[in-house]
Amino acid sequence: MSGSPPHTTAMTALGSITAQPVSRSSSTSPWRPKPAYRHTVEDTVYLAPGHTGRGIGGRLLGALLAGCADAGVRQVIADSGDGASAALHRRFGFAQAGRLTAVGRKHGRWIDTILMQRELPAALAG
């Protein structure tokens, strides 16, 4: 790579761009703004209610991880407050790295988030 942070080329978005509400999307963003973290991104996979259970999330996350590996990303972080999202990420080799207690508020209650992490295969060689 030319020395530019991988996350500048790894910011990938997959999804529906129409006049209709977005039903699915995935993207990455820098994990932290400081240069020391330039090889690490956080992923986001979104499925609207009614679009789960069809393998869409897996296809989105798989394509996103492939794009990140191609861009030279070393680590991908997932921050999940949802059991289905955590299960999806586990299927793709993410491991729990920590839990943040009562850091979000959703549907009138405090929720925990689980931090998950995956090292990408291309990073193992370098």
Nearest to 65 by CA among 126, 5, 123: 123
DSSP characters over 78-103: EEESSHHHHHHHHHTT-EEEEEEEEE
Residue 50: predicted pLDDT:
77
Residue 84: predicted pLDDT:
87
Q: Which residues of the chain have pLDDT under 70?
A: 1-24, 122-126
Nearest to 7 by CA among 65, 68, 57, 53: 68
Pairing of strands 40-47, 75-80: parallel
Residue 21: predicted pLDDT:
57
Residue 125: predicted pLDDT:
44
Residue 13: predicted pLDDT:
47
Residue 8: predicted pLDDT:
41
